[in-house]
Chains A and B, each alone.
Chain A
Amino acid sequence: MMVIHFPHNFQSLRIPYVKKNRAKIIIIVLCIVGAIYGLIPTYQSQTMKGELDAFGNSPADSLKKVKWLHDNGDDLKSANAKAIKLGLDLRGGIYVTMEVDVLKFIEEQALQKDDIFDAVLKATEKEEATSENPIVPMFVQHFTELAKPKGKSLANYFYFADAGAGDDKAIQASLQKGVDEAVDRAIEIIRNRIDQFGLTEPTIQKQGSRRIIIELPGVGDPTQVHQLLQGTAQLEFRLLKDPALVQKVFDRIDKHLAGDTSLAFNKTLDSMAKRVDSSALAAAKSADTAKAKGTDSSAKAMAALTPEDSARRADSIATIGMTKEQKQAHELKMHPFTAVLYKGFDQKNSQFYVTEADRNLIKSMVSRPDIKALYVDEMSFMFSRPFPGKTENYYQLYFLNSQPELTGKVITDARADISQQDGRPEVTMQMDDDGTRVWRRVTKSNLKKQVAIVLDSVIYSAPTVQGEIPNGNSQITGIGDITEANLLKIVLKAGALPAPVKIIQESVVGPSLGADSISKGTWSIIWSLLVVVLFMGMYYVTGGVVADLAVMINLLFTAAVLATFGATLTLPGMAGLVLTVGIAVDANVLIYERIREELALGKSLKLAMDDGYRRAFAPIFDGHLTAFFSGVILYSFGTGTVQGFAVTLMIGIAASLFTAIVITRVIFDLMMDRNEGMIKFG
């Protein structure tokens, strides 16, 4: 192996090659530095994942893991976002394509069905099986062909309030609108459920007009996912719990937890406390253990003897003479539950906001059977949709009646509008007769109270009842913007108008298979690289070594581009890398063979190299371009993993033009400066 000495000081050189190449050298160095910079998050993400994996499955370890995630979660998240993404075939997980069953939706929309209608449906179904075209126009076309001659019009089967006169065009438009909304609703329902599942980096995408692609890395159990994706959506209206009652439940849980001897749980809280103020607390704690032990146990004893208020008094006695940090630690010990809750308490509006990690912690607390028994008859804990914060999402915590007042089935229509009075977005909803009756009673007896709109145990909105609603026609105001209003409208319809979805494609890669293919793929690539490197070095001597260097830089660039543009590396993508190496090497083989030919004609090394590079350029360029074309086409027609292959191939080919031609040439020029004898092409 030879070492290339880059000159330390350009000024000291006599020969003009460096000067000639100065711009190129700067560009090359910038590219390499940029590529390395682009790969830093990938490196960080890998090391952090390693640290995370080092935790075992024991309870103590899982607590450490929680703490680790508390401390490093944000860093890991940002590193992951910029790291090379591994496809599901490499990391394991579930890939699902779902399709909204538009035909079923249309069928459900029909007021009445007869033989003619069924014939139209059947014809549409037949065409739909082989076509990707939008279904509503397809349905209307079949309707025109089959039902029209029999004297039927769409108005015989459908009624939409917004369709005006009810001619076919207006009805088709309404039907289309309904279908589009159904797709959006299906996506929202799925997004909502997956979000609750607390998975890392799930992707939910709309493909075409009615398909939804869902990728869930790291999930291995398909049955769990089926339930998650296919269950019927539950929409409910629930009253918020009275604050005084909620406080009682808090106290009960606090008391229960403070007296809890299971150390494991207190440890979690310790780590949480550390996060509150890590350095000050550490000092305070050591003092605390000596001093506060006595007071603590006595307070505990009192709490056990007397009801809640005297426990509180004991608290205030115990905290006399403590520093702020000590108070905080004490608070955490005495009120383990509310200490977590009140971290995100918004005093002004008496609302609770928690981070995702705290949401999971609270969820795990309140779902413990012993704790659940303390409140389950009276109330339930639920969280809102995520609110995007500066670094992470926040969730609002609500305390609701354990029984719903109404379910979403009673809603007949919902709309998002701009209010005519104040120009602010509002949502109106209409209920059926049964719903109207119950709603009237509920609104009458709960004036100025909040009613939460709950979809699959997630709260989308909690409007306050402003007055009795006698006719089932309600307005929800005070909504942030029209997007939010639209979302609420979509959700409100979920109860009555389900969006039928079916799984049309699914693939599950177990994590162990993923690990297996990674190691096999990686090793075979390393071996194949080694074979090429050795061969090139032997066959073309210095030329070969320079080409090897170029190939390494090419791989570096390709990896960096993959990371920067958020492309996904799949197993076929790795095969694409190998092929890229082949193509990159081919460029150098072309150049070197050409130089050998020119040398054989008796030209000087310098002239032979000039001519070799110049004459080899056309075939290299043509070859690269045509291979690039096939990559583009592969990308546009392929799916999933095959696209991964096409992406690495395209990036690699583009990089190869630069590395194999420009970089090798500059290196040779620099070598010329120092010692022409070093350059040999075998």
Chain B
Amino acid sequence: MRFFRKTNIDFIGKRRTWYIVSITVTVAGILFAMIRGVEYGIDFAGGTEVQLQFQKDVKIDDMRQALDAAAIRGAEVKYYGKDEAGVLIRVREGAQGAAAGAEATKKVLAAVEKGFPNNKSQLLQEQHIGPKIGAELRVKAFEAVFFTCVVILIYLAFRFRFVYGLGAVIAILHDVLVAFAFAVICNGFVPWLNLEMNSTLLAAFLTIVGFSVNDTVIIFDRIREDQKKYKGQTLKEIMNRAINETLPRTIITSGTVFLTLLVLFIWGGEVLRGFAFTMLIGVITGTYSSIFVASAIAFDWLEKDKNKTASLPVGQRSMSKRATATA
């Protein structure tokens, strides 16, 4: 069985159109996030979260009233799970009426018991995160993405050339930003997806980093191989050839990973749903960015470099000789 005949698509030639698409999506996502604000999960925001399973369905408004009666203000209440008997209550750190630390849970549970005397509830999950831990986790999340990029840049600079490393890192940032943008936007419209920024979503972003760079490296490897094989061809021809040659693999792999994630998304349950959704976006953008971001940026850079070197006097040219030797 085989899905593809030999393809011969001019990917590099269309790169400018896709630059515009990429920039538009990324900028739109960031703007949206800035305007709407990012909804942090409890582990990043700090506060107390209580998840309860009632015997009978519960109205959100009734729950609010019960909390108000106990002078807990500004609590978020939403359904969690498949029916309206599962409720998630979240009291942010420093919210009015929220007791300090672990006391908050006790207060919430007491309020619930008082508000619903005839509807017994079971505590499914409770989380309390102090403000310090929340802040620490946010910082660590940024550090994690940053250091991953640095390590990958160094590795690829060694393994290929600096320009390729740079292309790959820009592609990574692109993917994380696009996935982030989608997560923020979709979270605004479909709360069911569980897309608050929490440590599980952070794991998804970092996995996207791994996936994206894997995809990119495979194309780069092929470019390097083809450069040795087809010495006479232009960089554009070689890059297009390498991308076309690896295209079946790209589609098959991305397709399989996409399918596994789809299964996780549909059947994986509440906790894995947000993770799987973000990863689905990440797989699409990771595949796309290997071609239209990583390879395209490396191409533009090398072309520009070539022109510049050509106009330089011979003595200075040797400095960037390595950069053009295989180009």
A503 to B129, CA, bound (A): 9
Bound Cα distance from A510 to B101, whole angstroms = 19
Report which of B122, B127, B209, B217 forms a contact with A623, defined as CB distance below 8 A: B217
Report the minimum CB–CB distance from B33 to chain A (whole Å): 22
Complex Cα–Cα for A633 and B276 (A): 21
B101, B202, B249: the one contacting A503 at CB < 8 Å is B101
Contacting A521 at CB < 8 Å: which of B51, B159, B253, B268? B268
Q: Please give, as numbers and ranges, the residues of chain A lying within 8 Å of B209 by CB-CB distance.
A: 630
Chain B residues, CB < 8 A from A579: 207, 211, 257
User: Cα distance A389–B106 when bound, in Å?
Assistant: 40
User: Which secondary structure dominates chain B's binding surface?
Assistant: helix
Question: Assuming the A-B contacts A506-B102, A629-B155, A637-B140, are A512 and B218 also in contact, with contact meaning beta carbons closer than 8 angstroms in the complex?
Answer: no
Contact of A524 among B2, B128, B245, B267 (CB under 8 A): B267
Q: A520 at the A/B interface (Cβ < 8 Å)?
A: yes
Among candidates A222, A531, A541, A572, residue contacting B200 with C-beta atoms closer than 8 Å: A572
Chain A residues near B214 (CB-CB < 8 A)? 583, 586, 623-624, 626-627
Closest to B224 in A: A618
CA distance A641 to B271 in the complex (A): 12
Residues of A within 8 A of B210 (CB): 626-627, 629-631, 649
Bound together, the chains give a CA A637 to CA B138 distance in angstroms of 11
B231-251 interface code vs A (CB 8 A; 1 in, 0 out): 000000000000001101100
Contact across chains for B253 and A585 when beta carbons are under 8 A apart: yes
Residues of A within 8 A of B141 (CB): 637
- Quick one: which of A509, A516, A535, A623 has the most chain B CB within 10 A? A623
Partner of B263, one of A531, A541, A624, A629: A531
Q: Does A272 contact B (CB under 8 A)?
A: no
B2/A682 in contact, CB under 8 A: yes
Contact A641 B199 (CB under 8 A): yes
- Minimum Cβ distance to chain B for residue A581 (Å): 7
CB atoms of B133 and A619 under 8 A apart: no
| A346-381 interface bits toward B, Cβ cutoff 8 Å, 1 = contact, 0 = none | 000000000000000000000000000000000000
A625 within 8 Å of B by Cβ? yes
> Cβ of B143 < 8 Å from any Cβ of A?
yes
- A226 and B105 CA atoms in complex are apart in Å by 11
- Are A512 and B53 in contact, CB atoms less than 8 angstroms apart? yes
Residues of chain A contacted by B151 (CB below 8 angstroms): 629, 633
Q: Return the CB mask of A578-603 against B: 1 if under 8 Å, else 0.
A: 11011101100110010011000000
Q: Check B148 against A622 for contact (C-beta < 8 Å).
A: no
Q: For the complex, what is the distance from the CA of A512 to the CA of B53, rounded to whole Å?
A: 10
Chain B residues contacting A318 (CB-CB under 8 Å) are none
Bound CA span A523–B256, Å? 18
Q: When the two chains form their complex, are residues B200 and A520 in contact, meaning their CB atoms are under 8 A apart? A: no
Q: At the interface, yes or no: B284 with Cβ under 8 Å from chain A?
A: no
Give the shortest distance, in Å, between A510 (CB) and chain B (any CB): 4
Residue pair A642, B202 in contact (C-beta under 8 Å)? yes
A525 to B155, CA, bound (A): 32
Q: Hey, which chain A residues are within 8 Å of B137, CB to CB? A: 639
Instruction: Give the CA-CA distance A677 to B165 in the complex, in Å.
Output: 43
Q: Which residues of B contact A220 (CB under 8 A)?
A: 123
In the bound complex, what is the Cα–Cα distance between A226 and B100 (angstroms)? 13
B130 adjacent to chain A (CB < 8 Å): yes
A523 contacts across to B, CB distance below 8 A: 267
Inter-chain contact A630/B218, CB cutoff 8 Å:
no
Contact A633 B125 (CB under 8 A): no
A97 touching B133 in the complex, CB below 8 Å, given contacts A582-B253, A627-B210? yes
CA distance A623 to B159 in the complex (A): 12
CB-defined contacts of A623 to chain B, threshold 8 Å? 213-215, 217-218
Cross-interface CB contact of A520 among B156, B213, B252, B268, cutoff 8 Å: B268
Minimum distance in angstroms from B172 CB to a CB of chain A: 9
A626 touches B133 (CB 8 A): no
- In the complex, chain A residues 519-565 whose Cβ is within 8 Å of any chain B Cβ: 520-521, 523-525, 527-529, 531-532, 535-536, 538-539, 541
Contacts of B220 in A (CB 8 A): 622
Nearest CB in chain A: distance from B296 CB, A: 19
Q: Which of A619, A629, A633, A639 interacts with B199 by CB under 8 Å?
A: A639
With contacts A531-B260, A582-B253, A645-B203 taken as known, whether A625 is within 8 angstroms of B155 at the C-beta atoms is yes
A597 to B247, CA, bound (A): 12
Structural contact, B218 and A524, CB atoms closer than 8 A: no
A591 nearest CB neighbor, chain B only: B249
Q: How far is the CA of A631 from the CA of B152 in the complex (A)?
A: 12
Scoring B106, B133, B257 by chain A CB atoms within 10 A of each residue's CB, the highest score goes to: B257
Q: B125 near A509 (CB under 8 angstroms)?
A: yes
8 Å CB contacts to B: which residues of A87-126? 89, 97
With both beta carbons as reference points, the residue of chain A lying nearest to B172 in the complex is identified as A630
Q: Take A520-B268, A523-B267, A641-B199 as given contacts and tell me if A528 and B152 are in contact as well, using a CB distance cutoff of 8 Å.
A: no
Contacts of B252 in A (CB 8 A): 539, 589, 593
Given contacts A130-B135, A528-B263, contact A510 B125 (CB under 8 A): yes
Chain A neighbourhood of B218, CB < 8 A = 590, 619, 622-623
Q: Is the CB of B260 within 8 A of A507?
A: no
Q: Is A223 among interface residues, defined by CB-CB distance under 8 A?
A: yes
Known: A593-B249, A619-B217, A629-B152. A634 touches B268 (CB 8 A): no
Q: Which residues of A contact B10 (CB under 8 A)?
A: none
- Residue B131 is within 8 A (CB to CB) of chain A in the complex: yes
Residues in chain A near residue B186, CB distance under 8 A? none
A575 close to B (CB within 8 Å): yes
Q: Does A508 contact B (CB under 8 A)?
A: yes
Interface residues in B7-63 (C-beta closer than 8 Å to A): 51, 53
A223 x B106 contact (CB < 8 A): yes
Q: Is the CB of A615 within 8 A of B225?
A: yes
Partner of B259, one of A89, A222, A535, A649: A535
Min CB–CB distance A543 → chain B (angstroms): 11
Residues of chain B contacted by A226 (CB below 8 angstroms): 102, 106
Give Cα A524 to B273, complex, Å: 11
Q: Check B264 for interface membership: any CB of A closer than 8 A.
A: yes
B69 within 8 A of A: no
Collect the chain B residues with CB atoms within 8 Å of residue A503's CB: 101-102, 128, 130
Contact A634 B203 (CB under 8 A): yes
**B268:A512 contact, CB within 8 angstroms:** no
Q: How far is the CA of A132 from the CA of B137 in the complex (A)?
A: 12
How far is B131's CA from A523's CA once the two chains are assembled, in angstroms?
Answer: 36
Question: When the two chains form their complex, are residues B269 and A508 in contact, meaning their CB atoms are under 8 A apart?
Answer: no
Pick the contact of B130: A504, A535, A624 (CB < 8 A): A504
Chain A's closest residue to B245 (CB) is: A597
Question: Known contacts A503-B128, A520-B267, A634-B203: does B272 contact A532 (CB below 8 Å)?
Answer: no
In Å, the complex CA distance between A505 and B2 comes to 53
Closest B-chain residue to A221, C-beta based?
A: B123
Check if B1 sits within 8 Å of A539, measured CB to CB.
Answer: yes
Query: Given A575-B275, A639-B137, are A586 and B221 neighbors across the interface (CB < 8 Å)?
Result: no
CB contacts (< 8 Å) of A578 on chain B: these are 260-261, 264
- Seen from chain B, the residues whose Cβ lies within 8 Å of a Cβ on chain A are 1-2, 51, 53, 101-102, 105-106, 122-133, 135-137, 140-141, 143-144, 147-148, 151-152, 155-156, 159, 199-200, 202-203, 206-207, 209-211, 213-215, 217-218, 220-222, 225, 245-246, 248-249, 252-253, 256-257, 259-261, 263-264, 266-272, 275-276
Q: Which 3 A-B pairs have the closest CB atoms?
A: A520-B269, A504-B130, A637-B144
24 interchain pairs, CB-CB under 8 A: A129-B131, A132-B136, A222-B106, A222-B126, A504-B101, A509-B125, A512-B53, A512-B122, A517-B270, A517-B271, A520-B267, A524-B267, A531-B256, A572-B203, A578-B260, A579-B211, A582-B253, A583-B214, A618-B225, A622-B159, A629-B148, A633-B147, A649-B210, A682-B1
Listed in ascending order, the chain A residues whose CB lies under 8 Å from chain B are 89, 97, 129-130, 132, 220, 222-223, 226, 502-510, 512-513, 516-517, 520-521, 523-525, 527-529, 531-532, 535-536, 538-539, 541, 571-572, 575, 578-579, 581-583, 585-586, 589-590, 593, 596-597, 615, 618-619, 622-627, 629-631, 633-634, 637-642, 645-646, 649, 682
Other than A517-B269, A622-B221, A629-B210, give 6 A-B pairs with Cβ distance below 8 A. A89-B271, A508-B126, A516-B269, A520-B269, A629-B148, A640-B199
